[in-house]
Structure 1
Amino acid sequence: MKNTTLCYIEQDDSYLMLHRVKKHQDPNAGKWIGVGGKFEDGESPDECLVREVREETGLTLTHWRCRGIVTFVSDEWPTEYMHLFTADGFEGRLIDCNEGELAWIKKAQVPALNLWEGDRIFLELLAREEPFFLLKLSYQGDRLAGAVLNGQALEL
């Protein structure tokens, strides 16, 4: 199992999105996602969040909220616990990211992007200001095979 963070940085009704087009052998290749990454030894979720955002974007977060924990189960990858954040306070300027292209995307336009199907579920929860949630997403290959929100199966 691995622990990761993912953050959707907000500004002017937009999210800072990362188009994953630069890394070799990237399971997210071609997808649009937030920014984040794997925990280092001894890191808390917020320490990982701040470090990963700074490394990938050049921005230093000053205000964020933990919105939920998403468990990814796959027949191809190890199970992942992703700590999902939004942030609306930051300092600094964007840098080039070695994992893809960063872009501010209007929230209303995000659903039209090439996203993981499960990401659409938690992005909708974020948009609805859902209180802290637990979401389990099960994949068979690239296909979303199941979703459970706070213990209740979702219809796909």
Structure 2
Amino acid sequence: MNKARLSTLCYIENDDKYLMLHRIIKANDINHNKWIGVGGHFEDRESPDDCLLREVREETGYTLTDYKFRGIVTFIYGSGEKEMVEYMHLFTATGFVGEEVPCDEGVLEWVPKDKLLDLELWEGDKIFLRLLSERDDFFSLKLVYDESDELIEALLDGKAI
């Protein structure tokens, strides 16, 4: 089994919009053409907060001043030797300072929250985006994808949904 990866993902909110990243630049990107929040993989000795703050600053130019840890999302992708497991620490943020900079992984765009589901999203992302709007409490979501990017299992707080 491959070693699990750790990452952060943040949805920065302003004027009932989320800052979304349209992943169209990076080569060999599993998220190519998808719209996602901002974030990335942990570096050595980083906490979830350390990783979040660094990744947001690198990808957007913003420094977060008010953010909340909302949930943990366990991604399982593929099977056998090619299986990938990732534990994504999910955050939302409502406070930030700084000037937006271009991102080297895609194009940043402020998208109204009621238009998010019109974007090219992973099926599992639609689930946790709904949870972010419906719940204030911390949640655990497990998403299992097959090799053709199809969501085949979803569990919320240990129960199938």
> Structure 1 residue 130: deviation in Å?
3.9
- Secondary structure at the counterpart of residue 84 of structure 2: coil
1:2-151 paired onto structure 2 within 5 Å? 2-75=5-78, 76-141=82-147, 142-151=149-158
Q: Normalising by structure 2, what TM-score?
A: 0.94
Letter in 1 for 2:23: R
- Secondary structure at the counterpart of residue 79 of structure 1: strand
How many Å separate the matches in 2 of 1:95 and 1:129?
A: 31
Structure 2 gaps, min length 5: none
How many Å separate the matches in 1 of 2:83 and 2:36?
A: 18
Question: Alpha-carbon deviations, 1:82-122, whole Å to 9, x = none?
Answer: 00000000000110000000000000000100000000000
Identity %: 58
Instruction: Find runs of 4+ consecutive structure 1 residues off by over 4 angstroms.
Output: none
- Secondary structure at the counterpart of residue 40 of structure 1: coil
Change (3 A) 1:77 1:57: farther
> Structure 1 residue 78: deviation in Å?
1.5
How many Å separate the matches in 1 of 2:136 and 2:155?
A: 15
Letter in 2 for 1:61: L
- Secondary structure at the counterpart of residue 51 of structure 2: helix
Structure 1 gaps, min length 5: none
- Secondary structure at the counterpart of residue 152 of structure 2: strand
How many Å separate the matches in 2 of 1:57 and 1:24?
A: 19
